[in-house]
Chains A and B, each alone.
Chain A
């Protein structure tokens, strides 16, 4: 791959089309996932757990912002 091709590849890769289950869509929310698919999402944990689409065994967690870096975990 030459430099021009690399540049094109990089540009194309910078803005990929996000799939429906990409967690980027849910930043700041709680999501429920089952087998890699987002089955429900809500701003809060309680609302999510009350959602009838959510089943026992689903992975439930919040999706956060990129780290702010204040609390440093050190080498």
Chain B
């Protein structure tokens, strides 16, 4: 028997679900949030042993359990897909707040060009610059249209940074390549570390434009427009893979979720694993989910919002037979289209002899960056690739297990390794590159025909591999990071033309920036949702998150995901008021 109908049911209570819930409940709507994991709160018990690296970072306390649900991977359409049995390459969160609890807080805005990637590329370089099989497309929304929502997200989350462009006025010291902002960041930038200063000096020496990376780790106390006050960062160095026990790192549980709960109109149900939207092809009626006891429940609602991680949003649509499934062989269909990732690699490392830094201190987004080689900020003529990425040097902390590094040639274990660790633990600097991941016709998500999850439902099958464009981009990036490292001038340097492995390899962590599968756009033939993240075919279903990216940019995605969530909330309220049709 179905449960009592509500105005809105949201699947997934992370950044997207929390933002939408806070906006809708304050507008008077009654909302139920279905969270597949536990309802981690802000109590002492939720944060005891919070710096236990083994528990959180190695044994994956806050991440999806692949014993219950995982994904299969194949590198091309002819290969048999196999299950990813252990977490590695990416780490989707589970539990209240989702990945928004264990993120680092790097909060970027994509470039204006990113939203018009196809037309901008063709305009500047011609159609022939787009390699065969690449399927980049425009977003159906422009940077200028999204700017107010970026601004809203940044002021809600208390993002610390230095503007480089306010209303078209370029400001040195900020990111001079960024799109115009309507105003300065809400919080001053984090103070540059000694390592950051080395990077800054080297980049300036080479004629580049360094600036402090935008951060959701508060350097000072901040009260946001919703009346939420958070304290400043202690620089413990345990952001990535961990929750923040002092609440200095913005996360949904310290910002938007309390605001929604305070209205009395938001109910969150933990251990509620949604798997389908009941519908008649034109209207979503209810969400079907397994409760904590494994019993199927049905939650009817006037409006349904998919706010889960990329894979689960797409899987639920496919299982619900909502939208036309994408066929990577023909390029027809939309659900599962344009799956992308993040292209990492091409980094450089340097070790000093006799010079020690306070690497044990830091925060997840404490970094210095240059944007000179991102997007189309540089002339690609003759380079043989399109796109680019951000180059950063971070001071994110140095944990005792996963942050140990030694110079090339050091023994991988034993006495010599231990001696090298003692000598170099505090004496290393790294410069990294985070590159775009363009869409391709054959990169896609669909339902695996063989493998199933704990409930017997099909797993998501990922079809993905590195392509020549990204390989050339990474080779180029490696020359730039090495150039910067040489200018920093440590005693030992490791770097050079960057390379990607023969195939995408899921065994080692690279990035939790999976995107696409439910792209947004202006054309229903190539997108699942419109610019308000509303399904073309089923207007009372909204699908929101990084799944909407038609391709991924050279930045961390959360700032853009937050902006899209605020825009979706506005669209949902418009739809609720009108009662029907596309916003």
Interfacial chain A residues near B505, Cβ < 8 Å: 66-67
Across the interface, A70 reaches (CB within 8 A) one of B349, B498, B512, namely: B349
Decide yes or no: A24 and B499 within 8 Å by CB, A73-B344, A74-B556 being known contacts: no
Provide the bound-state CA to CA distance between A70 and B106, in Å.
18
Q: Are B450 and A75 in contact (CB under 8 A)?
A: no
Provide the bound-state CA to CA distance between A59 and B396, in Å.
36
Contact with A along B509-547 (1 / 0, CB 8 A): 111110000000000000000000000000000000000
Contact with B along A1-40 (1 / 0, CB 8 A): 1000010011011101000001110110000010000000
Of residues 47 to 66 in A, which have CB atoms within 8 Å of B's CB atoms? Answer: 59-66
Number of interface residues of B (CB under 8 A): 48
CB distance from A4 to the nearest CB of B (A): 13
Provide the bound-state CA to CA distance between A75 and B451, in Å.
27
Provide the bound-state CA to CA distance between A7 and B364, in Å.
41
Report whether over half of chain B's contact residues are helix, strand or loop; otherwise say mixed.
loop
Q: Are B502 and A61 in contact (CB under 8 A)?
A: no
Q: Are A59 and B468 in contact (CB under 8 A)?
A: yes
CB distance from A44 to the nearest CB of B (A): 10
Provide the bound-state CA to CA distance between A27 and B466, in Å.
14
Q: Are B513 and A75 in contact (CB under 8 A)?
A: yes
Closest-by-CB residue of B relative to A18 is: B502
- B434 touches A (CB below 8 Å): yes
Interfacial chain A residues near B102, Cβ < 8 Å: 75
Decide yes or no: A75 and B502 within 8 Å by CB, A61-B475, A70-B405 being known contacts: no
Q: Are B500 and A64 in contact (CB under 8 A)?
A: yes
Contact with A along B420-453 (1 / 0, CB 8 A): 0000000000101010000000000000001100
CB distance from A69 to the nearest CB of B (A): 4
Provide the bound-state CA to CA distance between A69 and B511, in Å.
10
CB distance from A3 to the nearest CB of B (A): 11
Q: Are B497 and A67 in contact (CB under 8 A)?
A: no
Interfacial chain A residues near B471, Cβ < 8 Å: 59, 61-63
Provide the bound-state CA to CA distance between A22 and B434, in Å.
25
Q: Are B80 and A12 in contact (CB under 8 A)?
A: yes
Across the interface, B502 reaches (CB within 8 A) one of A1, A22, A69, namely: A22
Provide the bound-state CA to CA distance between A1 and B448, in Å.
12
Across the interface, A24 reaches (CB within 8 A) one of B80, B344, B503, namely: B503
- B501 touches A (CB below 8 Å): yes
Closest-by-CB residue of B relative to A35 is: B132
Provide the bound-state CA to CA distance between A59 and B102, in Å.
38
Provide the bound-state CA to CA distance between A45 and B499, in Å.
12
- B218 touches A (CB below 8 Å): no
Of residues 82 to 115 in B, which have CB atoms within 8 Å of A's CB atoms? Answer: 82, 91, 99, 102-104, 106
Q: Are A13 and B434 in contact (CB under 8 A)?
A: no
Q: Are A61 and B499 in contact (CB under 8 A)?
A: yes
Q: Are B82 and A74 in contact (CB under 8 A)?
A: no
Q: Are A23 and B502 in contact (CB under 8 A)?
A: yes
Interfacial chain A residues near B510, Cβ < 8 Å: 67, 69, 73
Of residues 102 to 147 in B, which have CB atoms within 8 Å of A's CB atoms? Answer: 102-104, 106
Across the interface, A60 reaches (CB within 8 A) one of B106, B364, B396, B472, namely: B472
CB distance from B412 to the nearest CB of A (A): 11
Across the interface, B91 reaches (CB within 8 A) one of A13, A33, A68, A75, namely: A75
Q: Are A24 and B502 in contact (CB under 8 A)?
A: yes
Interfacial chain A residues near B512, Cβ < 8 Å: 74-75
- B79 touches A (CB below 8 Å): yes
CB distance from B365 to the nearest CB of A (A): 8
Interfacial chain A residues near B503, Cβ < 8 Å: 23-24
CB distance from A48 to the nearest CB of B (A): 12
- B581 touches A (CB below 8 Å): no
Closest-by-CB residue of B relative to A65 is: B501
CB distance from B359 to the nearest CB of A (A): 13
Q: Are A10 and B240 in contact (CB under 8 A)?
A: no
Provide the bound-state CA to CA distance between A36 and B347, in Å.
27
Closest-by-CB residue of A relative to B91 is: A75
- B214 touches A (CB below 8 Å): no
Q: Are A63 and B509 in contact (CB under 8 A)?
A: no
Q: Are A67 and B82 in contact (CB under 8 A)?
A: no
CB distance from B14 to the nearest CB of A (A): 11
Decide yes or no: A75 and B240 within 8 Å by CB, A45-B497, A61-B475, A66-B507 being known contacts: yes
Q: Are B430 and A70 in contact (CB under 8 A)?
A: yes
Decide yes or no: A72 and B499 within 8 Å by CB, A9-B80, A61-B472, A67-B345 being known contacts: no
Interfacial chain A residues near B513, Cβ < 8 Å: 73, 75
Closest-by-CB residue of A relative to B432 is: A71
- B508 touches A (CB below 8 Å): yes
**Can you identify 26 A-B contacts, CB atoms within 8 angstroms?**
A13-B79, A14-B82, A23-B503, A24-B503, A59-B468, A61-B471, A61-B475, A61-B499, A62-B471, A62-B475, A63-B499, A63-B502, A64-B498, A66-B505, A67-B510, A70-B349, A71-B432, A72-B396, A72-B402, A74-B239, A74-B396, A75-B99, A75-B102, A75-B511, A75-B512, A75-B556
Q: Which 5 A-B pairs have the closest CB atoms?
A: A64-B499, A13-B80, A23-B502, A61-B471, A59-B468
- Beyond A10-B82, A65-B499, A65-B501, 14 additional contacts (C-beta under 8 Å) are A13-B80, A27-B502, A60-B384, A61-B471, A61-B474, A62-B471, A62-B497, A63-B471, A63-B500, A64-B500, A66-B508, A73-B344, A73-B513, A74-B104
